[in-house]
């Protein structure tokens, strides 16, 4: 008789069911392992999963990846033996190499300014997830469904999760290759929502640009130097005494006028909102939170008070649905000033002088919506996730016709559903620049596709050479923002030498002409969870030479990026990917004769990459004129995709988009490329197309041709 148990049992029923260790598997090769003494009320509903495995069968006897549960020195432990020769990846926000074998990662979100290599294994986010890729290219994923403080240890033959909390369940996913595994992960955790197009552009930030005249000066200078840009950011100095949802009466007296000024220049404005609410009678946010009894409590049941930028602060208890709803209402008037996006920072939460720089673990959260009340020890790692969940609710309430954009410093596995992320307060150093590649790749492999570092580095002062190098590489990351700390040297592209300015502008222009391809990659991430920025081994999971490559990387599936500083880079498919020179695309592109910074681009054989004409913002970008870069495979064919929609709003959910297949073939020296819409109801006007035929490091261009097909005679 086949045993089937619903995952939607009550907490008590599950606890009774697993008095002895139990394990089950779904019909699509997802296994769930319960230890003895598992108490679902201490873990569920899980913040990780958008969809619990619906029905469970007995685990087959040949299932390979199985945890063993134990207790050791008061800690609960899950140990998983793995096959020899397995390469391990994931583990979330960490410094170090892409390949994670032989590493220990601490999962306890803390404010870690100026982190380096040695302390970069214990940062602002927690992702209890390990990906394993066997020698044959098959892949598995391990999730420790546990928000309590824990660590991940990865040896060559063993993965261990060690927790200071109660016994937790482990979920194991088996798939044929890493791509299928990423798709299976988001099938459980949910996909990233499609972000607004403007959030994929270049972004300029500082801690802080103030007063408002300085913000306008930055906007004017960006446009004067013709540096394509979409966003300027406001750090905490825009606030009145660092009180959230307020504006400094002297420095930012009319935020709507400032935001209108930016909008006239096709720039968006993103402003910071921290979780700490200044304790001050008469301050409307503190008054409302106190009247509603919305604060996190200390061990004695009184509202907890901790110091952050404003001084003594209260902290919303985001585990409570009524608190999240209240928090959401705060955004309506705030966003009405013309703010486009929100930056949630300090949300580990950071508490100056607190234990580990945060709240005491015996603080108390009330929970709700099926989440039992419990100590901060349980909810600490998901404080940031619950905050951005509430903030997203607020942005949708304020602007229901716009896609929310939220950037968060703290998060947890599954939090990609609510916010993008950046890698926190890194250092302005060559070492950190190089480490940002595997760091960004690892976050992508941990289910967070929209992420990136502060370009140029945040802490300390960058040199012009470092900013140029980092920008030339960083423009191919998912999130692209130049940001630096208060008191450092100016870090804008024009702050150094004409050479640095030209190098940065050239790099940023490369991103903007590739925007149709990049937006298509983001759409793919929103559908099936594929990282926008990928490790080379995803081009061929069976090629062992690619497993440890973490200098070069893939942007989408068809473009390989090799930073100028990289050495001895592995090459997929025996080095057959073709070099692409974008500088020949348009005479208006910056093409300085001597540029030692730009990354090398290579295109996958058998691919078609759509690129646009240069624009100064995504608002100005059009896909009515497209250049199609064609790199043929051994059969003289190639194929690609192009996704188009309105760039904002949600009409795409009702079919108002266009997904087109790009096909190319060579017959008797005539190369023909067609654009055929295969999905969506969005109608496109007649296009102008141009072919860019890539071969042997050179590009041959056709003339511009009207319609959805173009052809050219290729040279030898």
- Helices (H), strands (E): how many in the chain? 13, 43
Q: Which residue's entry shows tokens 């040199």?
A: 463
Taking the C-alpha atoms of residue 423 and residue 453, their distance in angstroms, rounded to an integer, is: 5
Mean pLDDT of the chain: 94
Q: Per-residue confidence at 201, pLDDT binned at 50, 70, 90? A: very high
- Please tell me the distance from the alpha carbon of residue 120 to that of residue 112, in angstroms, as a whole number: 8
Q: How far is CA 432 from CA 104, 345, 426, 535, in A?
A: 19, 21, 7, 18
- pLDDT at position 584: 75
Spell out a b/e string for 72-95, using b for 16 or more CB atoms within 10 Å of the CB, else e.
Answer: eeeebbbbbebeeebbbbbbbbbb
From CA 560, how far away is CA 576, in angstroms rounded?
11
Q: In this model, does residue 680 exceed pLDDT 60?
A: yes
pLDDT on residue 475? 98
Under the banding of pLDDT at 50, 70 and 90, the label for residue 587 is low
Please give the residue that has the higher pLDDT: either 394 or 20. 394
Q: What is the mean pLDDT of residues 294-301?
A: 98
Do residues 488 and 207 lie in contact, with contact meaning Cβ atoms separated by under 8 Å? no
Tokens standing for 266?
A: 């096709």
Handedness of CA 361, 362, 365, 367 (dihedral sign): positive
439's enclosing H/E stretch is helix 430-445
Instruction: Name the pairing type of β-strands 306-308 and 311-314.
Output: antiparallel
Look at residue 448 and tell me whether its pLDDT is greater than 80. Answer: yes
686 is catalytic: no
Q: Residue 171: is its pLDDT beyond 60?
A: yes
pLDDT at 19 over 60: no
Q: H or E stretch including 72?
A: strand 67-72
CB atoms inside a 10 Å sphere around CB 458: 26
Residue 630's contacts (CB-CB under 8 Å, 6 or more residues apart) are 608, 638, 664, 671, 673, 691, 692, 693, 694
SS3 content of the chain, % helix, strand, coil (to 5): 25, 30, 45
Please give the class, per CATH, of domain 5-189: mainly beta
Catalytic residue among 235, 274, 286, 348: 348
Residue 258 parent element (H or E): helix 255-264
- What are the structural domain ranges in the chain? 5-189, 517-713
* pLDDT the model gives residue 588: 63
Q: Which CATH architecture has domain 517-713?
A: Sandwich (2.60)
Neighbours of 269 (CB within 10 A): 23
Give the pLDDT band (50/70/90) at residue 574.
confident
CA–CA distance, 545 with 633 (Å, rounded to integer): 22
Q: Where are the alpha helices (DSSP H) in 280-382?
A: 284-291, 321-329, 331-335, 376-379
**Among 395, 392, 296, which Cα is nearest to 349's?**
296
- Among candidate residues 174, 235, 345, 454, the one labeled active-site is 345
CA distance 230 to 262: 10
Q: What is the pLDDT confidence band of residue 21, given thresholds at 50, 70 and 90?
A: confident
pLDDT at 11 over 70: no
Give yes or no on whether 5-189 and 517-713 have one common fold.
Answer: yes
Can you give the pLDDT at residue 582? 86
Residue 137 near residue 177 (C-beta atoms within 8 A):
yes
Give the predicted TM-score (pTM) of the model.
Answer: 0.95
Q: What is the pLDDT of residues 507-554, one digit of tens each?
A: 999 999 999 999 999 999 999 999 999 999 999 999 999 999 999 999
pLDDT in tens, 339-354: 999 999 999 999 999 9
What mean pLDDT do residues 140-155 have?
A: 98
Residue 574 buriedness (CB in 10 A; 0-12 / 13-18 / 19+)? exposed
Q: Single out the residue of 555, 526, 541, 551 nearest to residue 420, CA to CA.
A: 526
Average pLDDT over residues 621-634: 96
Beta pairing, strands 451-452 & 129-133: unpaired
Sign of CA dihedral 47, 50, 55, 61: negative
pLDDT at position 10: 35
Statement: residue 635 has pLDDT above 60: yes
What 3-state DSSP class applies to 491? coil
pLDDT classification of 685: cutoffs 50, 70, 90:
confident
- Distance between CA atoms of 554 and 418, rounded to whole angstroms? 25
CA distance 43 to 18: 14
165: nearest Cα among 235, 285, 274, 78: 78
CA distance 377 to 81: 28
Kind and range of the H or E run holding 107? strand 103-107
- Average pLDDT value for residue range 49-68: 88
Catalytic residue among 425, 492, 549, 648: 425
pLDDT of residue 593: 59
Helix (H, G, I), strand (E, B) or coil at 198: helix
What is the CB-side half-sphere exposure of residue 195 using CA atoms within 13 A?
29
**Phi first, then psi: what are they for 23, rounded to 5°?**
-150, 145
> Residues with Cβ < 8 Å from 325, sequence gap 6 or more?
390, 393
Separation of first and last alpha carbons in the chain = 68
Q: Cis ω on the peptide bond leading into residue 45 (within 30° of 0)?
A: yes
Omega before residue 208 within 30° of 0, cis: yes
Question: Residues 215-242: what's their mean pLDDT?
Answer: 98
**Separation CA 422–CA 453 (nearest Å):** 5
Instruction: Give the closest residue to 130 by CA, choosing from 423, 420, 442, 410.
Output: 442
Q: Would you tell me how many other CB atoms lie within 10 Å of the CB of residue 6?
A: 11
Q: Is 648 a catalytic residue?
A: no
Identify the H or E element spanning 159. Answer: strand 158-163
pLDDT-derived band at 16 (thresholds 50, 70, 90) equals very low
pLDDT tens digits, 469-484:
999 999 999 999 999 9
pLDDT value for 567: 97
Yes or no: say if 189 and 48 are a contact pair by the CB < 8 Å rule.
Answer: yes
Q: What is the DSSP code string of 385-413?
A: HHHHHHHHHHHHHH-TTS---EEES-EET
Give the separation between CA 84 and CA 68, rounded to whole angstroms. Answer: 18
Separation between Cα atoms, residue 548 and residue 70, nearest integer Å: 32
- Could you count the other beta carbons within 10 Å of the beta carbon of residue 500? 22
Instruction: State the pLDDT at residue 590.
Output: 66
Calculate helix-pair angle for 464-474, 498-513, nearest 10 degrees.
10
Residue 537 half-sphere exposure, CB side, CA atoms within 13 Å? 30
Q: Virtual CA dihedral for 511, 517, 521, 523, nearest 10 degrees?
A: 110
592: confidence class by pLDDT, cuts 50, 70, 90: low
Q: What is the pLDDT of residue 715?
A: 87
pLDDT digits (tens, 9 = 90+) for 308-317: 999 999 999 9
What pLDDT is stored for residue 22 in this prediction? 83
Strand partners, 607: 631, 639
> What is the per-residue pLDDT for 665?
98
Share of the chain above pLDDT 90, in %: 90
User: pLDDT at position 716, please?
Assistant: 73
Least confident stretch, 55-69, 298-312, 464-478, 582-596:
582-596
* Catalytic status, residue 345: yes
């Amino acid at each position: 008789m086949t045993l089937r148990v619903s995952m939607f049992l009550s907490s008590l029923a599950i606890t009774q069911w697993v008095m002895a260790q139990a394990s089950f598997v779904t019909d699509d090769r997802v296994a769930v392992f319960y230890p003895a003494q598992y108490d679902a009320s201490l873990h569920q509903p899980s913040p990780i999963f958008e969809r619990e495995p619906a029905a469970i069968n007995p685990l087959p006897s040949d299932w390979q990846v199985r945890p063993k549960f134990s207790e050791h020195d008061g800690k609960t432990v899950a140990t998983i033996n793995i096959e020899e020769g397995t390469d391990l990846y994931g583990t979330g926000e960490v410094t170090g190499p892409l390949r994670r074998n032989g590493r220990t990662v601490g999962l306890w979100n803390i404010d870690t300014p100026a982190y380096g290599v040695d302390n970069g294994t214990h940062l602002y986010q927690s992702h209890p997830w390990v990906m394993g890729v066997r020698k044959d290219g098959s892949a598995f994923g391990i999730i420790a469904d546990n928000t309590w403080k824990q660590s991940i240890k990865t040896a060559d033959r063993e993965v261990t999760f060690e927790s200071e909390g109660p016994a937790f369940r482990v979920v194991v996913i088996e798939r044929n290759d890493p791509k299928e595994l990423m798709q299976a992960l988001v099938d459980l955790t949910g996909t990233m929502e499609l972000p607004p197009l403007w959030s994929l552009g270049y972004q300029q930030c500082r801690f802080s640009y103030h007063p408002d005249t300085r913000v306008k000066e930055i906007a004017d200078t960006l446009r004067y130097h013709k540096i394509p840009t979409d966003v300027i950011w406001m750090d905490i100095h825009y606030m009145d005494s660092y009180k959230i949802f307020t504006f400094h009466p002297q420095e930012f007296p009319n935020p709507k006028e400032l935001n209108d000024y930016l909008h006239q220049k096709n720039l968006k404005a993103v402003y910071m909102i921290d979780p700490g609410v200044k304790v001050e009678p008469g301050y409307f946010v503190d008054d409302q939170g106190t009247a509603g009894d919305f604060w996190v409590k200390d061990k004695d049941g009184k509202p907890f008070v901790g110091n952050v930028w404003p001084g003594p602060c209260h902290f919303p208890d985001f585990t409570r649905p009524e608190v999240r709803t209240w928090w959401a209402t705060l955004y309506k008037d705030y966003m009405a000033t013309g703010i486009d996006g929100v930056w949630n920072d300090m949300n580990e939460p950071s508490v100056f002088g607190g234990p580990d720089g945060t709240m005491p673990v015996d603080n108390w959260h009330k929970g709700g919506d099926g989440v039992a009340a419990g100590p901060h020890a349980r909810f600490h790692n998901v404080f940031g996730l619950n905050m951005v969940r509430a903030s997203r609710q607020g942005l949708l309430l304020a602007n229901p016709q716009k896609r929310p954009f939220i950037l968060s410093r703290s998060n947890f596995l599954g939090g990609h559903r609510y916010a993008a992320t950046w890698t926190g307060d890194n250092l302005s150093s060559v070492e950190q620049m190089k480490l940002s590649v595997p760091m960004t790749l690892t976050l992508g492999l941990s289910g967070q596709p929209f992420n990136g570092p502060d370009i140029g580095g945040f802490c300390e002062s960058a040199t012009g050479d470092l900013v140029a190098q980092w920008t030339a590489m960083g423009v191919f990351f998912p999130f692209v923002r130049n940001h630096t700390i208060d008191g450092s040297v100016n870090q804008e592209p024009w702050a150094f030498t004409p050479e640095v300015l030209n190098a940065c502008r050239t790099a940023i222009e490369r991103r903007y002409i590739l925007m149709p391809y990049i937006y298509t990659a983001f759409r793919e991430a929103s559908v099936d969870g594929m990282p926008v920025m990928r490790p080379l081994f995803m081009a061929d999971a069976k090629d062992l030479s690619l497993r440890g490559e973490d200098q070069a990387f893939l942007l989408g599936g068809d473009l390989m990026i090799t930073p100028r500083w990289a050495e001895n880079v592995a090459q997929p498919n025996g080095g057959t990917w073709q070099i692409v020179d974008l500088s020949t695309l348009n005479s208006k592109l910056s093409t300085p004769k001597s540029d030692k910074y730009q990354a090398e681009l290579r295109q996958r054989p058998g691919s078609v990459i759509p690129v646009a004409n240069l624009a100064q913002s995504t608002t100005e970008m059009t896909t009515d004129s497209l250049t199609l870069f064609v790199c043929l495979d051994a059969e003289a064919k190639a194929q690609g995709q192009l996704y188009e929609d309105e760039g904002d709003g949600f009409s795409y959910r009702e079919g108002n988009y266009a997904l087109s297949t790009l096909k190319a073939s060579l017959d008797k020296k005539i190369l023909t490329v067609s654009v055929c819409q295969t999905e969506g109801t969005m109608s496109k006007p007649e296009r102008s197309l141009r072919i860019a035929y890539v071969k042997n490091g050179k590009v041959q261009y056709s003339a511009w041709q009207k319609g959805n097909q173009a052809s050219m005679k290729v040279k030898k």
